[in-house]
Amino acid sequence: MTVMQHIWIVLGVLFVFLNIAAGLIWVERRLLAMWQDRLGPNRAGPLGLFIVLADTLKLFFKEDWIPPFADKWVFILAPAIVVASVLMGLAIVPFAPGIVVADLNVGLMFFLAMSSLGVYSIVLGGWASNNKYSLLGALRGASQMIAYEVFMGLSLMGVVMLSKSFNLTDIVAAQENMWFIVTQPVGFVIFFIAGLAETHRLPFDIPEAESELIAGFHSEYSGMKFGMFFIGEYLGISLISAMTVTLFFGGWLGPAFLPPVVWFFLKTFVFIGIFILMRASLPRPRYDQLIGYGWKLLLPLVLLNLLVTGAIALWLRS
């Protein structure tokens, strides 16, 4: 590939995902409204699509307030980290054969590393705000993310064992005959749960918990800095959905009547929809229940999954 091609792919991925993230404003609100017997935003433009524009404009024109009691530079840095880390994570996702920003041989490790960085935005944002609600949110966020990171990584090791590679293109290719959802259902469930926790979406929105902590770690944020957290969350949803598709649902693979890229995005949108459905239907557990659930139930389960997968893989080879 030429340098120009690379640049086009990078720009293309950026363009597509930033637009998806923005578009999710509309998608989420319309879907939630549908499930909640409401109409949702339907006035601006066709089907209310321009709400995206209106929301973005609003965020840009809001006063970009930095509280005088906040730690100014950290306060500014925090929202940037969330967007940056998620976008970096998207770099290793193969959308179709050849369309990938960085075809790393340790792609999966890179993804885990980047998603781990996301916790910094919560901790720093909550700390720098110098607000008690933010601090509580940040503390909750930190312990939640650390707990769920552990088995997010472990849940994927089954896939790695079966495909014998950390490279995502190889992993997709290894699913030519059978998607890993069939052989790794437990891995999928746990990865998806961990993914919900990573993006701190309901029922894992403990760091925000609007009925308890106002808006948790980003209570003090306004304007485009808040917008960054907002976009970061939607990007995170897209990333986890894209990764779920890549790792367990055969990535771009699908019957030939549609091009691979289309298959990939179709599957991804299904998972984005599930993220939103979760939000529409589930209540929020308490923070200690959530952490307990992670360490006491999911961790043993994921280890067991690993053990069984390894045993079967060895047995098949012999």
Partner 1 sequence: MLETDHIHTQLIQRFGPDAFQQQITADRILTLWTSKSNIVSIIEYLKSNNFPFLYDLCGIDERDRAGKEKLPVADFTIVYHLFSFKQNEFVRLKVALTGEYPSLPSITALFPNANWYEREIYDMFGIRFEGHPHLTRLLMPLTWQGHPLRKEYPARATEMGPFRLWDEKQDIEQEALRFKPEEWGMQSHSEDSDFMFLNIGPQHPGTHGVLRIILQLDGEEIVDAVPEIGFHHRGAEKMGERQSWHTYIPYTDRVDYLGGVMNNLAYLLAVEEMAGIKVPERVKVIRVMLCELFRINSHLVWFGTFAQDLGQLSPVFYMFTQREKIFDIIEAVCGDRMHPNWFRIGGVAQDLPQGWDRLVREFIVHFPKELKQYNDMVLRNSLIKARTKGIGVYTLEEAIEWGVTGPGLRACGFEWDFRKKRPYSGYEMFDFDIPIAQNGDCYDRSVVRVEEMRQSLRIIEQCLNNMPEGAYKADHPLTTPPIKKHTMQDIETLINHFLNVSWGPVIPPGEAMSCVEATKGANSYYLVSDGNTSSYRTRIRTPSFAHMQMIPYISKGYTVADLLSILGSVDYVLADIDR
Give CA–CA dist 55/51, Å, rounded.
6
Size of the site for partner 1 (CB under 8 A): 28
Give CA–CA dist 207/22, Å, rounded.
22
Contacts to partner 1 from residues 114-143, by CB under 8 A: 132-133, 136
Residue nearer to partner 1 on the CB measure, 130 or 165: 130
Instruction: Give exposure, 65-99, as e/b (b: 16+ Cβ within 10 Å).
Output: ebbeebbeeebbbbbebbbbbbbbbbbbbbbbeeb
Binder to partner 1 among 201, 218, 267, 279 (CB under 8 A)? 279
Residue nearer to partner 1 on the CB measure, 234 or 265: 234
CB atoms within 10 A of CB 273: 14
Binder to partner 1 among 32, 181, 261, 313 (CB under 8 A)? 32
Binder to partner 1 among 16, 27, 35, 54 (CB under 8 A)? 35
Contacts to partner 1 from residues 199-238, by CB under 8 A: 202-203, 205, 209-214
How big is the CA angle at 16 (ends 11 and 19), to the nearest 5 degrees?
A: 120
Query: Within 13 Å and on the Cβ side, how many CA atoms surround 114?
Result: 24
Regarding 27 and contact with partner 1 (CB under 8 A), the answer is: no
- Beta-bridged to residue 234, according to DSSP, are none
CA-based nearest residue to 208, from 192, 197, 195: 197
CB of 211 to partner 1, least distance (A): 5
Choose the binding region for partner 1 from 94-102, 110-118, 198-206, 246-254 (rule: CB under 8 A): 198-206
Which positions touch partner 1 (CB under 8 A)? 32, 35-38, 132-133, 136, 202-203, 205, 209-214, 279-289
